[in-house]
Chains A and B, each alone.
Chain A
Amino acid sequence: MKDFSVINKRLPRVDAWSKVTGEARYAADLSMPNMLYAVLFQSPLAHAKILNIDTSAAKKIVGVKDIVTYKEAGTIRYGVSPARYDETMFCYDKVRYVGDEIAAVAAIDFETAMEAASLIKVDYEELPFYLNVFDAIKEGAVPIHDDYPNNIGAEVHQEFGNVEDAFKECDYIRTDRFVNKKQDGGFLEPQACLAYYDMNGNLTLYTSTQTPHYVQRTVSMVLNIPIGKVRVVKPYVGGGFGPKASANTIELAASLLSMRTGRPVKMVMNREQVFMHSRGRHQFYHELTTGVKKDGTIHALKNTCYLDGGAYSSFGIATVYYAGSLLGAPYRLPNMKYDGYRVYTNKPACGAQRGHGGVAARAAWEQQLDIIAGELGIDPIEFRLKNVREKGEVTCNDFNLSSFGMKECLEAIRDRSDWKNKKGKLPKGKGIGVACGFFVSGAGYPIYRSETFHSTAMIKLSEDGGTVELYTAAAEIGQGSDTVLTMMAAEALGVRYEDVKIYSGDTDFGVDLGAYSSRQTLMSGHAVKQAAEDVKRQVLEVLSKRLNIPVEDMDIKDGYIVFKKGPVDFSGIRSYYIKEHRGWAEQPSDDRLTFKEAARIAYIERGTIVSTGAYKPGELGGKYKGATVGTSPAYGCSAQIVEVTVDMETGKVTVDKMTDAHDCGFAINRTNVEGQMQGSLSMGLGEALFEEVKFDEKGRVANPTFGEYRIPTALDMPNVNTIIIESDEPNGPFGAKEVGEGAIMPTIPAILNAIYDAVGVRIDELPVTSERLYNAIKEKERKK
């Protein structure tokens, strides 16, 4: 085991102190002198032509400073993937869901803006609207977007191996269907932003986002401002989980209103607007046919999926690929066919959410594999162990598993949960279940086609030599990227954790694609490590000259210079430093040469010491269509055992215990890794048992509150036995790879499999509410 000073430890987060005292500032906490408040005017209808927009009455309200519609905003299309730019800042021809944005009003205060917005009059011609996938694709349905007459916005057809031939070689084949429900991100901080376009033509946008870089590009494109004049700054962000990973209307509208009024403009979504903006988890309808050999070898998988996309594409083109590409990967599956269809409906757009595209598929298949193992009389863990891939293998769709501790994960949870004495042996109403998970560690390609680096970093040493200033555009959204990047910088440079000051989340600091696809530890980490190593080299070069010792005979560790070949007389440097810096605090006095002294001397010799780092993955993956989605420099994997109690009288499920092992390659901060695992499991538990965004018959979100849309509370989540598996990823900085999203993957199917173990019924529709499970138990009893 390598000897590390900073990483692989349990250090407190760099932002913990400001967050625990209430000092941390989020977008809604910001204000500026002379600031205006703006609000949106949104569609009350799910699908309608816009005949006329009348803002005249609203404009007459005293205190209103500006009202913008498509007439002022223009109709430049944007979105996430350039291949599916299907949004405009404001609707112009028609509205496509309840909540679609039509206008924004800026006024001297929030109340005035609200009053004015209530006076905007729009004439509509109502159109038929579609609240589910199958209505939207029916013959004769009205297209929601003219470019997609059958309402299928994206489709994927992939086959690896030959599934039909492979089924002929199978001893056992079964088909199952599965459906989840639209899940909301459920982050605590509603989106908010503050835009200021100054007299020099510079736009600064402070916003609650996961992706400052993509927001910068979108704002620049839609408002036609040179990209160098747009600065996006991310203050602290109160969670994102995917839905904050692209530009939203308030960011664009506040920027436009500021350009027009010359004043700072603030916009904040309320919770209902967060639900309407959505961009959360799609609803997936999966049909899976799996063929195995009688010894339990998984041989073929046919996966068909319809995604309920909502009114716009958002991340959906990636989602529809992910719902197929990630599924087979943890197992030695030679034949895989996937047909995916993402369908437009008149509901809020779905996008990326933790475990992007793969969560429902994983739930469906891991439950099916459990059924198959049962039919073959093989223990579900043994069944998985027989089929899991190992380090160095390449999947049938060309994912290179450069590290892969799946076997270790499964063995760890088995051994730590007393599986052998529990599986099938618990009393009625109690059950235990297992499942595996798999996820990318950073998307292999940016969302737009480009040779751009995915992450850059810059380090500047303070001129006194005492502080390492790390600049990165990476997005700390709560997941802990500021902390792990600080730790990696300290480790790579050889200084203490507290010697590094991080500045992040600002597009002026460089390019970083942001916090999505579980990419920051690996990608931003590489850039930071590279910059830190370069600073180290620069300091040692100067020292080498002064002391006449080769660079390779020196190192820096824990804030001190290490002389590898025995003691060195550095008294000349020491007395020079003390003489030159009389009156400075913390004069060096111990018998080791400090980094601070060396860094100061480097500055005196060379001027300000600055270094940069930049990372992009090499060419990855296969050559087939869609091969870019799912390829990653590394893959995380996990396994989980869940124990439940089912109340036979009510169908209520209580999750008693969760044992989770995750292969994160190498834990930079062990506490943070556990935190990601526990948080993922909590979100998975919510989706499994109660989360569902519901709609009324008009297409309005029926439960846009945390009272009606229930996310897990402290009373719903059990303690988790978290086991960190470290497989030392060769493509990751210090061997690290993802944990933020992959950890959610096994939770839902492990719960479903535990429910089956408890009561003998299979549930193929989420969430597993008391009613659904109670009815299933009664149905089973009736059939007896």
Chain B
Amino acid sequence: MKRLINLIVNNKAYEIAVAPNRTLTQILREDLNLLGTKEGCGIGDCGACTVILNGRPVNSCLVLAVQANGCNIQTIEGVADGNNLHPIQEAFVEYGAIQCGFCTPGMVLSAKSLLEKNPKPTEMEIREAISGNLCRCTGYQKIVEAIQAASKKMKKK
């Protein structure tokens, strides 16, 4: 039996009928076609499906769509302003923080969530904030450098 839920995703309101066992990842990807949210494990281990839910980064695979009823959600598709990349995205591009790119959307959202709360994080705070986002390609160093650079850039603005 489907239930009707209301979501605000990337500042747009949606009313969706969902089966109670559907995860937020599935709804975002399959119902809203927001395919930038990736599924790497489906059980909350890898962080590839990270979205920002009411201001907090969450593994969207661990959130049932019905639990997200009434929530405000930001996915990777909502981070850039049109063709203008967010400073975190700019820094990821510039610093070589991207390789295969599968962890990148989740990584960017975890970083964004961190910098919104803590605009001047230490390296250790950055590493802690992204420790739930696994990356097999980069060894994390260039991701950390990119987040540090974004932090500086955002402060100037």
Q: Which residues of A contact B (CB under 8 A)?
A: 10, 12-13, 15-26, 28-29, 185-190, 236-239, 241, 270-271, 477-480, 671-672, 674-675, 678-683, 705-707, 711-715, 717, 719-720
Contacts and interface: CB of A to CB of B under 8 A. Distances in A.
B144 A714 contact: yes
A22 B80 CA distance: 10
B4 interface: no
B85 A21 contact: yes
Given A675-B138, A679-B99, A713-B131, A19 B104 contact: yes
A24 B101 contact: yes
Contact of B136 (A10, A21, A26, A239): A239
B127 A705 contact: no
Nearest to B100: A478
Contact of A675 (B44, B99, B128): B99
A678 B138 contact: yes
Nearest to B99: A478
Contacts of B92: 16, 20
B141 A717 contact: yes
A160 to B, nearest CB: 36
A737 to B, nearest CB: 20
Contact of B76 (A21, A25, A238, A478): A21
Given A22-B76, A706-B45, A713-B131, A28 B96 contact: no
Contact of A187 (B100, B104, B127): B100
Contacts of B138: 675, 678-679, 682
Nearest to B36: A22
A713 B100 contact: no
Nearest to A13: B98
A479 B136 CA distance: 11
B127 A238 contact: no
13 contacts: A20-B104, A21-B89, A239-B99, A239-B100, A239-B136, A478-B101, A672-B96, A680-B139, A705-B45, A706-B45, A706-B134, A715-B128, A715-B131
A186 B131 contact: no
A368 B92 CA distance: 41
Given A29-B35, A188-B48, A681 B80 contact: no
B142 interface: yes
B129 to A, nearest CB: 8
Contacts, number: 165
Of the listed residues A21, A236, A675, A706, the one surrounded by the most CB atoms of chain B closer than 10 A to its CB is A21
A190 B40 contact: yes
A239 B75 CA distance: 22
Main secondary structure of the interface of B (DSSP, over half): loop
A706 B128 CA distance: 17
A241 B138 CA distance: 12
B98 A16 contact: yes
B96 A13 contact: yes
A676 B96 CA distance: 11
Contacts of B36: 21-23
**What 5 pairs across the A-B complex have the smallest Cβ distances?**
A22-B36, A478-B100, A238-B102, A19-B101, A678-B139
Contacts of B143: 714
A675 B137 contact: yes
Main secondary structure of the interface of A (DSSP, over half): loop
A714 B140 contact: yes
B136 A186 contact: yes
A7 to B, nearest CB: 16
B15 interface: no
Interface of B: 29, 34-46, 48, 75-77, 79-80, 85, 89, 92-96, 98-105, 108, 126-128, 130-144
Given A22-B75, A681-B139, A189 B40 contact: yes
Contacts of B94: 12
Given A16-B93, A21-B85, A28-B39, A720 B45 contact: no
Contacts of B29: 29
A448 B111 CA distance: 46
Contacts of A21: 36, 76-77, 79-80, 85, 89
A678 B92 CA distance: 16
Contacts of A271: 40-43, 45
Contacts of B35: 22, 25, 29
Given A22-B77, A678-B139, A711 B134 contact: yes
Nearest to B147: A714
B102 A189 contact: yes
Given A19-B101, A478-B100, 12 more contacts: A12-B93, A16-B98, A22-B76, A238-B38, A238-B102, A241-B136, A270-B42, A671-B95, A675-B139, A679-B139, A711-B136, A714-B133
Contacts of B104: 19-20
Nearest to A184: B136
Contacts of B79: 21
Contacts of B98: 13, 15-16, 19-20
Contact of B38 (A23, A26, A671, A714): A26
Given A22-B76, A239-B136, A707-B43, A189 B131 contact: no
A462 to B, nearest CB: 23
A236 B100 contact: yes
Contacts of B93: 12-13, 16-17, 20
Contact of B130 (A186, A477, A714): A714
A188 B40 contact: yes
A92 B94 CA distance: 52
Nearest to B43: A705
A713 B127 CA distance: 8
A512 B93 CA distance: 28
A707 to B, nearest CB: 5
A672 B138 CA distance: 10
A509 to B, nearest CB: 21
A681 B136 CA distance: 10
Contacts of A238: 38, 40, 100-102
Contacts of A239: 99-100, 102, 136-137
B44 to A, nearest CB: 8
B4 to A, nearest CB: 20
Contacts of B42: 270-271
Of the listed residues A237, A477, A679, the one surrounded by the most CB atoms of chain B closer than 10 A to its CB is A679
Contacts of A719: 141, 144
Nearest to B37: A22
A327 to B, nearest CB: 25
Nearest to A20: B89
A212 B89 CA distance: 30
Of the listed residues B34, B46, B102, the one surrounded by the most CB atoms of chain A closer than 10 A to its CB is B102
A409 B85 CA distance: 39
B141 A678 contact: yes
Contacts of B39: 28
B63 to A, nearest CB: 17
A186 B136 CA distance: 7
Contacts of A236: 100-101
A730 B55 CA distance: 54
Contacts of B38: 26, 188-189, 238
A478 B139 contact: no
Nearest to B123: A719
A10 B137 contact: no
A237 B100 CA distance: 6
A488 B37 CA distance: 33
B131 A714 contact: yes
A479 B96 contact: no
Contacts of B137: 239, 478, 675, 679
A706 B95 CA distance: 27
A25 B41 CA distance: 18
Contacts of A706: 40-41, 45-46, 134
Nearest to B35: A29
Contacts of A674: 96, 142
A480 B45 contact: no
Of the listed residues A28, A241, A271, A714, the one surrounded by the most CB atoms of chain B closer than 10 A to its CB is A714
Contacts of B95: 671
B100 A678 contact: no
Contacts of B99: 239, 478-480, 675, 679
